[in-house]
């Protein structure tokens, strides 16, 4: 009996990993479309959201099936629960990538503006966090998961810096308010992506250590 | 090996076992078992076949005494009395600690005589009192309504599930405080099993129950505490939710997830 | 190549034939005895003493003698046999000593009855000083049927499911209490079966009583256990072989045989009725 369950669990693991990789790619393409002002890339991301949604539904149904048929316990149970939650976080990251792509589409049709803060740094950090969260899941790497949680603080700091700088720019360069608002949006979306990546990291900690570590920001060691 | 900390601080323990070793002749079957059984709770003993859980259970009412060349070392205290102390009255012990067996074994007598057997051999002769005891026990075993009109029918005519509930009533009739159940539902169909499990849930308010089961879902459904035995050793004991969501020992986890056994 | 079907049919046929053959043989024996013996049966035959050394008259004292012997044998052998069986089945351990005991019992069952007769002569008649008597005869016959009773009783005790014993002990019964209330009642019918077999042998064996109790002619019925008796098998033996008019008193011989048969059947029937009663009462 355990053989069938193990087989289904392995298949599920492969699916969630492949969804993670697809979502990683969407985020990368979406942020590129903003930085390079590339409408083609943006459209590709927007159209590709359907695929992510389908994957999410499939993974959720697989989880329900495993729960109903095998009544898993202990680590198997925690794995299914973690996958259900990570599934939902990944789908949200995908939606956020679409939002970023939509901003990119808009900005591509505008004249190029100077971005006073380091958007690339935020982009890189967000992408890194998503990638690392998937790695932590694959490798059951709790240290990496804690590291991701720490990175979220950095992202929040960058987000605050972005607000300050943009506020300054609005005062000095009021004609470009529209574009700047879109850039602000992109930054916020990146910050939200980082939050979801952090959730994934916390789900990995639950899976491995059976500790529910949400809402306890100080409980980690590096 | 079992930490007191898994139990609430003022939890009373009706059974305390300490470093129990059991031998069938030269073969050792139990190794240093130290397990506490909390009062008026259900403790489940799980583990693969041959791991010693039934052997341990039978130590608690000294049913292993019937096996020639068997030997117990260590201490088992029930209600603060060492049950293996020389001079212990085994008959009294078995009045305190009742047992229900895997294969239901009603006597080929009437339903009434089955339940009355225990009180009778302990000297109860008054027919009114016997009738009271029989009715009470059958009520407690949730089978009174089904048999109250045919108490003098032969017990062998009952279905498997009914027979097992009759055996439970029979055990309750002598007034034990502790009930030992050795895979009580393993020979029953799912519906009958469910009734036994419901019954255990009802009985736990008045009795301490120790149940051996090889069905882990049953242990999960029915017990407050679960102890995992493997090859004669107590590997882990903890609250049932903890065992089934996050056991401390890898062996426990491997067993309950079906990786072995 | 033969198919299964053919082999099955052949075997069935062969077994049927064998069974019919056995029934035929027994039937013929019965028929023969009844045919030759029935004419001799009348009230006088059963109720009066023999005259002319058994060539005429009746066989009443022999009937009484056989009856006493059977009762005496059962009275001795049944309690001893059941007691021994209870010990072996419930109390004895499975060690070498008890294996030897069991072996001895089974071997004893195969000892020729004349050997028992000599044994009885030596021990009961001579050594114990009972002389030829009902007591000596019953004791000797008891020794002879004891193995059968022990084996049958032990089997029937073992047949009682372990579950009854366990449940009984778990409810707080003492060991003897458990045996008395929850094992013995259910093994009754098997024990009675053993006694039926014992009755048959006790009533019908000639050799053991030859040397220990039987006499060919006694003027009176026995007054105590120390008296000798006449017995049907011995009476038949003498009538058929030693009597000067043996070839002319076939009807007496057959009549004796028939009475013996009827006596054994009657006693067995009684035991069967008792067994049926127990079977119904303690069905499991």
Q: Is the Cβ of A20 closer than 8 Å to some Cβ of chain B?
A: no
Q: Which of C206, C21, C225 is nearest to C117 (CA)?
A: C206
Total CB pairs under 8 A between chain B and C = 61
Question: Is there contact between C and A if contact means ≥3 C-beta pairs under 8 Å?
Answer: no
**CA gap B242, B254 in Å, rounded:** 15
- Helix (H) / strand (E) containing C86: helix C60-86
Q: Does C171 touch chain B (CB under 8 A)?
A: yes
3-state secondary structure of B75: strand
Which residue does chain A place closest to B251, by CA atoms?
Answer: A74
| B235 contact A CB<8A | no
- With a pLDDT cut of 90, the percent of chain B lying above it is 87
The predicted-structure confidence for B83-125, as pLDDT tens digits, reads as follows: 999 999 999 999 999 999 999 999 999 999 999 999 999 999 9
Could you give the CA distance from residue A69 to residue A71 in angstroms, rounded to a whole number? 6
Taking CA–CA distances from B90, the nearest residue in chain C reads: C172
Given CB atoms, is A67 within the 8 Å cutoff of chain B?
Answer: no
Is C169 close to B63, i.e. CB distance below 8 A?
yes
In this prediction, residue C57 carries a pLDDT of 81
Label the pairing between strands B27-33 and B42-46. Answer: unpaired
- The DSSP H or E segment spanning A128 is helix A119-139
Whole-prediction pTM = 0.81
CB contact under 8 A, B245 and A76: no
For residues C270 and C196, give the distance between their C-alpha atoms in angstroms, rounded to a whole number.
9
Instruction: Report DSSP letters for A14-29, one per residue.
Output: HHHHHHHHHHHHHHHH
Rounded to a whole number of angstroms, the distance from the CA of C169 to the nearest CA of chain B is 8
Best to test chain B binding among A73, A81, A213 (most B CBs inside 10 Å): A73
The answer to whether residues B170 and C167 touch, using CB atoms and an 8 Å cutoff, is yes
**B108 → chain C, closest CA residue:** C284
Condensed to tens digits (0 to 9), the pLDDT of residues A32-82 reads: 898 888 899 999 999 999 999 999 999 999 999 999 888 899 989 999 999
Question: Which residues in chain A are contacts of B244 at CB distance < 8 A?
Answer: 73-74, 77
- Specify the DSSP element, H or E, that contains B14: strand B13-24
pLDDT at B2 over 80: no
CB contact under 8 A, C283 and B66: no
Q: How confident is the model over A155-182, as pLDDT tens digits? A: 999 999 988 888 888 888 777 788 888 8
Residues A183-220 have pLDDT tens digits of 889 999 999 999 999 999 999 999 998 877 776 665 55
**Cα(B95)–Cα(C173) distance, integer angstroms:** 9
Q: Which two tokens stand for residue B214?
A: 């090889």
Q: Residue B241 to residues A72, B6, B220, C146, C245: CA-CA distances in angstroms? A: 13, 12, 7, 63, 98
């Amino acid at each position: 009996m355990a053989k069938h369950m193990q087989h289904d669990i392995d298949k599920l693991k492969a699916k969630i990993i492949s969804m993670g990789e697809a979502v990683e790619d969407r985020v990368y393409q979406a942020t590129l479309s903003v930085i390079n002002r590339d409408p083609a890339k943006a459209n590709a991301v927007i159209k590709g959201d359907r695929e992510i949604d389908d994957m999410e539904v499939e993974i959720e149904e697989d989880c329900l099936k495993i729960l109903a048929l095998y009544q898993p316990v202990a680590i198997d149970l925690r794995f299914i629960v973690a996958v259900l939650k990570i599934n939902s976080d990944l789908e949200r990251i995908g939606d956020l990538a679409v939002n970023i792509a939509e901003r990119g589409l808009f900005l591509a049709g505008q004249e190029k503006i100077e971005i006073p803060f380091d958007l690339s740094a935020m982009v890189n950090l967000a992408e890194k966090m998503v990638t690392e969260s998937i790695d932590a899941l694959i490798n059951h790497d709790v240290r990496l998961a804690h590291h991701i949680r720490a990175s979220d603080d950095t992202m929040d700091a960058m987000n605050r810096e972005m607000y300050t700088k943009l506020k300054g720019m609005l005062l000095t360069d009021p004609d470009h308010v529209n574009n700047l608002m879109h850039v602000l949006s992109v930054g916020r979306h990146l910050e939200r992506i980082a939050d979801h990546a952090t959730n994934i990291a916390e789900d990995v900690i639950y899976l491995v250590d059976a500790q529910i570590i949400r809402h306890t920001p100080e409980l980690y060691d590096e | 090996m079992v930490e007191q900390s898994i139990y609430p601080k003022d939890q009373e323990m009706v059974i305390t076992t300490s470093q129990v070793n059991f031998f069938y002749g030269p073969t050792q079957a139990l190794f240093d078992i130290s397990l506490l059984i909390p009062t008026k709770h259900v403790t489940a003993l799980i583990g693969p076949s041959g791991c010693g859980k039934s052997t341990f259970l039978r130590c608690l009412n000294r049913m292993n005494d019937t096996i020639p060349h068997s030997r117990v070392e260590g201490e088992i205290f029930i209600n603060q009395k060492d049950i293996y102390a020389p001079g212990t009255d085994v008959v009294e012990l078995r009045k305190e600690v009742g047992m229900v067996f895997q294969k239901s074994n009603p006597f080929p007598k009437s339903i009434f005589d089955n339940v009355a057997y225990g009180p009778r051999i302990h000297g109860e002769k008054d027919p009114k009192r016997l009738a009271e005891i029989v009715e009470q026990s059958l009520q407690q075993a949730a089978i009174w309504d089904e048999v109250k009109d045919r108490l003098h029918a032969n017990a062998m005519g009952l279905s498997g599930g009914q027979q097992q509930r009759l055996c439970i009533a029979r055990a309750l009739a002598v007034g034990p405080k502790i009930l030992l159940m050795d895979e009580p539902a393993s020979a029953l169909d799912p519906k009958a099993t469910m009734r036994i499990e419901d019954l255990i849930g009802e009985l736990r308010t008045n009795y301490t129950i120790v149940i051996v089961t090889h069905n882990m879902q049953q242990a999960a459904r029915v017990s407050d505490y679960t102890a995992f035995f493997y090859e004669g050793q107590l590997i882990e004991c903890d609250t049932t939710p903890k065992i089934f969501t996050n056991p401390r020992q890898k062996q426990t986890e491997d067993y309950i997830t079906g990786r072995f056994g | 190549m033969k198919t299964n079907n053919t082999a099955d049919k052949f075997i069935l046929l062969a077994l049927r034939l064998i069974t019919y053959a056995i029934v035929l043989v027994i039937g013929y024996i019965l028929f023969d005895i009844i045919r030759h013996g029935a004419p001799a049966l009348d009230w006088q035959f059963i109720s009066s003493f023999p005259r002319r050394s058994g060539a005429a008259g009746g066989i009443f004292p022999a009937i009484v003698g056989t009856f006493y012997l059977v009762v005496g044998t059962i009275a001795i052998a049944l309690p001893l046999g059941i007691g021994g069986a209870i010990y072996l089945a419930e109390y004895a351990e499975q060690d070498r000593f008890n294996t030897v005991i069991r072996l001895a019992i089974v071997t004893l069952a195969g000892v020729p009855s004349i050997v028992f007769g000599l044994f009885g002569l030596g021990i009961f008649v001579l050594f114990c000083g009972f002389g030829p008597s009902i007591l000596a005869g019953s004791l000797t016959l008891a020794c002879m049927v004891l193995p059968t009773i022990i084996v049958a009783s032990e089997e029937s005790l073992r047949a009682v499911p372990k579950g009854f014993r366990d449940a009984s002990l778990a409810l707080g019964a003492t060991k003897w209490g458990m045996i008395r209330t929850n094992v013995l009642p259910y093994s009754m019918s098997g024990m009675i079966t053993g006694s039926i077999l014992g009755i048959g042998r006790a009533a019908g064996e000639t050799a053991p009583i030859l040397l220990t109790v039987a006499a060919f002619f006694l003027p009176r019925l026995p007054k105590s256990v120390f008296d000798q008796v006449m017995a049907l098998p011995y009476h038949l033996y003498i009538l058929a072989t030693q009597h000067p008019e043996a070839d002319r008193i076939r009807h007496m011989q057959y009549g004796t045989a028939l009475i013996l048969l009827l006596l054994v059947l009657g006693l067995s029937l009684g035991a069967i009725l008792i067994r049926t009663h127990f079977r119904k009462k303690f069905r499991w």
